Amino acid sequence: MRHARILDCTLRDGAYLVDKAFGENTQRGIIKGLIEAGIDIVELGFLQNEGFGEGKSVFKTPKEAAKYIPKDTTHTEFALMADFSRYDFKNLQDYDPTHRIQNIRLCFFKHERLESLKLIEAIKQKGYKIFIQPVDILGYSDIEILELIEIINKSIPYALSIVDTFGSMYIEDLHRIWALINHNLHQDIQIGFHSHNNLQLSSALSQEFIRMSQNKRNVIIDSTLNGMGRGAGNTCTELIALYMNQKFSYGYKLDRILDSIDIYIDPLKKQCTWGYNIPYYIAGMCSAHTNNITYLLKKNNIASKDLMAILDEIDSQKRKRYDYDLLESTYLKHITQNNIDDHLAFDTLKNHLNCKNILILAPGKSLFTHKQKIYSFMQNTKDLVVISVNFCHQDFKSDFIFLSNIKRYEFWQNDKKFVCIPKILLSNITHDDSENSYILNLNRAIKKGWENLDNSMILLLRILDSFTLKSINIAGFDGYNPFEENYFDQELERNLTLGEIECINTQIVSMLEEYLETRTNDTKINFLTESRFATGVSKLK
């Protein structure tokens, strides 16, 4: 007899990546494919007080979700997740067999647990099987887990889940929590497991959970198609189904799971990303909400060690949620902490830049498609100083390299040509003591108000406003195009979604407008190459 079942929560956990709007065709297709694959339970989405609409996996009542369930469901059951703080359970109708949604999963934070657990009996009386989903089980002490179990045992819900919210769990943690729960939980209550892949352990933990529960208790494993989920993602349905087929002789139809991934999940990767990477590894290591990482990754000037340092500066409980104002202030504090006296460097640069024509070379693709035009300008312009931004290249002779991006600096620092060129650095780059480097205080250029406030071109323009210049000429500042390569060098490319690209372009326009409206000097600005930002500059000049 099977002791383990799969609960696929793609339409709920994966929904965070698509603003909870998969679209009706995708919703129906995923559900049908999972049924045909023999998946035991399919979670259809969220029960919430608001945010619902056509094509969204958010519903006010089970009846609204039922329309996506096909007539033939074989043995598959269906579930909905209700967050204690986001759903009024007065809206929960009595179970209706024609709706075929048998399971309600009650999710709550630790501070909500006592009030949340009072709902168990009421939900059971409405005819549902109820799953108890305490957020961040690693945030509970052993005593608190035992107290939770004591309350749960009085009401006998259908299941209690071990939820590794931040992907911080190791095998040893799972063994400890499993032993504690299995030994003390009423035998009629099943145990679920929901993990995230921040430490690349999600699949291994799920396999171990199945193995160690055999002959001890019936269990339920959460998974998603291709691991789709916010941040590092979840246990992959295809991986755990394969394991259960090969090691326990289950009969999940892998071809139907793969079809669902090919048809419905892979196309979504054009608009959103998920899966293990170093930033989400850091989130798991720090037990931090993935939204903290997502926000900080929008900064141009953020290295992995900075992510770790910034999260370490935030209280361990506060980083389990996300406070964007706190993140912004902590980030700014981190990058501006080297509050140097830069007057000597600044005065020296005055001698090099004052009364000069400035040519700024940004690393956009137009730098090479319009190379001859740029060469001609360089040859025919007197009193010219060429400043390249975050790069050096043998085809362009630069008088200075401007760097505010620590990752670009570390990429180039071992290049022989780079070492020889004078550099204008901002003070967030603290470990350059070469004689031909001029380090300026970042506080001269940084301004609040934008997620992408550390864009290097904007920072350089603000720095240059402190000098008396003949003109500013710009090449290679193309703007981001979602449908083609954006840099002249493929190694400089960034992996951005369509939404992220639109956001960056919009914010650069906004920062340019602010720069032009508030600058001290009215130096003429000329774009040598095509740029999506040129029109806005010409209107405001």
Per-residue pLDDT of 397-426, as tens digits, reads 999 999 988 888 887 877 778 888 999 998
pTM above 0.85, yes or no: no
Phi and psi for 208 in degrees, rounded to 5?
A: -65, -35
Q: Name which residue leads in pLDDT, 436 or 473.
A: 473
Residue 408 tokens, joined:
């670009």
User: Other CB atoms closer than 10 Å to residue 383's CB: what's the count?
Assistant: 11
Q: Which of 338, 321, 363, 360 is nearest to 139 (CA)?
A: 321
Per-residue pLDDT of 8-33, as tens digits, reads 999 999 999 999 999 999 999 999 99
Q: What is the pLDDT of residue 144?
A: 97
Residues 194-217, mean pLDDT to the nearest whole number: 97
Q: Which of 74, 78, 76 is nearest to 59 (CA)?
A: 78
Q: In sequence order, what are the beta bridge partners of 396?
A: 393
Express as a percent the part of the chain with pLDDT over 70.
97
Q: Which amino acid is at 455?
A: N
User: Other CB atoms closer than 10 Å to residue 517's CB: what's the count?
Assistant: 8
**Which residues are within 8 A (CB) of 164 and not within 5 positions of it... i.e. 6 or more apart?**
137, 138, 193, 194, 195, 196, 205
Tally helices (H) and strands (E) across the chain: 22, 16
pLDDT at 488 over 80: no
On whether the CB atoms of residues 155 and 124 are closer than 8 A, the answer is: yes
On whether the CB atoms of residues 135 and 173 are closer than 8 A, the answer is: no
Per-residue pLDDT of 311-366, as tens digits, reads 999 999 999 988 988 998 888 888 777 778 889 999 999 999 999 999 999 988 88
Quick one: pLDDT band at residue 432, thresholds 50, 70, 90? low
Domain with CATH 3.20.20.70 in the chain: 4-270
Length reported for the chain: 541
Sign of CA dihedral 324, 326, 327, 333: positive
Mean pLDDT lowest among 155-164, 255-264, 409-418: 409-418
Residue 10 tokens, joined:
């793609």
User: How many Å apart are CA 12 and CA 46, to the nearest integer?
Assistant: 6
Question: What is the homologous superfamily of the domain 4-270 according to CATH?
Answer: Aldolase class I (3.20.20.70)
Q: What is the pLDDT of residue 490?
A: 67
Q: What is the pLDDT of residue 156?
A: 97
Q: Which of 357, 352, 510 is nearest to 438 (CA)?
A: 352
Q: What is the pLDDT of residue 451?
A: 83
Place of tokens 């669902």: 260
**Which residues are within 8 A (CB) of 474 and not within 5 positions of it... i.e. 6 or more apart?**
359, 360, 362, 457, 525, 526, 527, 528, 529, 531
| Largest Cα–Cα separation, the chain | 86
User: How many Å apart are CA 165 and CA 323, to the nearest integer?
Assistant: 18
Place of tokens 């087929």: 245
Mean pLDDT of the chain: 91
Place of tokens 């929901």: 194
Rounded to whole angstroms, what are the CA distances from 304 to 7, 249, 283, 322?
34, 42, 11, 19
On whether the CB atoms of residues 401 and 434 are closer than 8 A, the answer is: no
**Which residues are within 8 A (CB) of 17 and not within 5 positions of it... i.e. 6 or more apart?**
228, 229, 230, 268, 272, 274
**Which residues are within 8 A (CB) of 516 and not within 5 positions of it... i.e. 6 or more apart?**
537, 540, 541
Q: 328-350 burial by CB neighbour count: b if 16+ within 10 A, else e? A: bebbbebbeeeeeebeebbeebe
